[in-house]
Amino acid sequence: MRSKDYYAMLGINRNATEAEMKRAYKKKCLKVHPDKNNSPEADEAFKKINAAMTCLSDPTKRRQYDQLGNSDAFERKESNGGGGGGRGHHFHRGNF
């Protein structure tokens, strides 16, 4: 699946305010909602728009997304628990 920028999906720039984001989200939802759009791709487009809004409307997730740079990397991180993909340092109690 090709990576798509969440900001581009909503038609906003990276500096968009929360109000601008909500307005763009509502406009996109009306356009791609499966009940209003008979296109076979409408359902998938609607899911993607919702994923973009879920990410960008949460300040912590938005900051992480901005650091990762694209939706594929962000979704991989989220599906791995958001903690760096399960990799990390494991500390065990032992004799020092």
From first to last of its 96 residues, the chain has per-residue pLDDT tens of 345 789 999 999 999 999 999 999 999 999 999 999 999 999 999 999 999 999 999 999 998 888 887 667 677 767 776 544 444 444 444 444
User: Can you give the pLDDT at residue 91?
Assistant: 41
User: Can you give the pLDDT at residue 68?
Assistant: 80
Decide: residue 23, CB within 10 A, 0-12 exposed, 13-18 middle, 19+ buried: middle
Q: Which domains does the chain have, with CATH numbers?
A: 6-69 (1.10.287.110)
Alpha carbons 17 and 3: distance in angstroms, whole number: 23
Q: Are 27 and 33 in contact (CB under 8 A)?
A: no
User: Can you give the pLDDT at residue 70?
Assistant: 66
